Structure 1
Amino acid sequence: MTDLIQKLSKYKPCDISDALTRYGIKSGGTIPHLIQQSPRQPTTSTIGPAYTVLFAALDDPRPAIKGGYIDSALSGCVLILATDTGLQLPYAPYTTLTNALYGGLMSTRAQYLGCAGTVVLGKIRDINEHRDLEYPVFSYGLGTAPPNTVAKVVAVGEILLIKSTMGDICIDAGDIVIADENGVVVLPVKDKVLLEKILNYIPQRVSADAKIAQDIKNGKKATEAQKEHRNSLP
């Protein structure tokens, strides 16, 4: 896993999406509608294996996870917090919950544990605390109220299912998360054949696009430059 992350850390989420769309994943692996809330001036991509956390409504029959989730987060991971599909919406604000699922104390603990960042498919609060920590946080939006009056954590380390107009998205614990101000992309790792194709394609595509950009700067038409350098890619 460390070797894989080192290879991918040289690239941007857009590069990963280019590869995923090339091999049939129309969404490019993007979790839509997320906004980078922290740090104030993002400079690098956030990357790491997903540590998945599932919230459900208080009246859900599943028991709450005892002891919470944050203290079990692993160094280097990206926390992915999502709600049960019954609390999701396919349109803005993408969640039925107005309460925030995540706050500044959670980022303080996550940073201490060495986590790479946090992605919340819902609202967060304490925005300036995350920014003061310079800890990467992505979310749909902001809120003020805590989650415990409306939701509980019912699973950690299990598959998350996210509704999307591009088709449902599955995020498994250990999938690679790559995120920056452009968005959040999830790269599945269990399909070894697909993963090998993607690792082979990305550097070739990045190199081709650099040549295309230079040709365009030199006056060549974009369509001609793209055809010349991309048509030979696998």
Structure 2
Amino acid sequence: MVDKEDDNAPTPSQHFADAAPKGSVIFISAPPGFKNAVWGGLMSARAKTLKVQGVVVDGRIRDLAEHRGMQIPVFAQGHSILSQGAFLRPSEIGVPATMSTCPVVVHPGDIIVGDLDGVVCIPRDQLEKVVVYCQKHTTIDNHCMEDILQGATVQDTFKKRRGV
């Protein structure tokens, strides 16, 4: 996304919701400081027909009830009733994009995983390493939970299981 008045940025030949590959996760980066939504219910309807797995917006969305009703996972920094077209316009599709809140660059083909706690982006070449790390630490936390539920203190459990 770029400022609507930016005449120098490229313009895609198709709508970005139509360009999503089947089974993909759509990532949209809006410039910081804009208060309008860049994704809405109509776009989620199109994404659902394309069998998109989810949408991550570095910016704002609208039509929350529609996304939930369609049961398509949509993650965003916030929401707004203002539409995209009033302030922003799409620019490039399928290119690396830097998150506005941190120096993470999302590349086409990266693995994006989200749940109620948030969203992470995993570079495809790091996936195996991340899976091993997650399995190890999930096992540790499961043991911590067992110990705590059996009456151990958090401090003792972390020292025993996490080494801290």
Decide: shared fold, TM above 0.5. yes
Relative distance call for 1:63 and 1:189 in structure 2 (3 A) is same
Aligned residue for 1:119, secondary structure, equals strand
Instruction: Give the number of the structure whose residues are more often strand, by fraction.
Output: 1
Aligned residue number for residue 163 of structure 1: 100
1:185 aligned to which of 117, 120, 144: 120
Number of residues paired by the alignment?
Answer: 162
Aligned residue number for residue 125 of structure 1: 62
Superposed counterparts of 1:1-234, under 5 Å: 55-60=1-6, 61-83=8-30, 87-88=31-32, 96-164=33-101, 167-190=102-125, 192=126, 195-231=127-163
The TM-score, its normalising length taken from structure 1, stands at 0.64
Aligned residue for 2:142, secondary structure, equals helix
Deviation at 1:81, TM superposition (A): 0.8
Highest RCO, 1 vs 2 (Cα 8 Å, sep ≥ 6): 1
The TM-score, its normalising length taken from structure 2, stands at 0.89
Aligned residue for 2:145, secondary structure, equals helix
Identical-pair percentage: 30
Deviation at 1:201, TM superposition (A): 2.0
Gap regions ≥5 residues in structure 2: none
Gap regions ≥5 residues in structure 1: 1-54, 89-95
| CA distance in structure 1 between the aligned counterparts of 2:26 and 2:66, rounded to whole angstroms | 17
| CA distance in structure 1 between the aligned counterparts of 2:115 and 2:15, rounded to whole angstroms | 27
Aligned residue for 1:155, secondary structure, equals coil
Please report the RMSD computed on the Cα atoms of aligned residues, expressed in angstroms. 1.7
Counterpart of 1:75, as a letter, is K
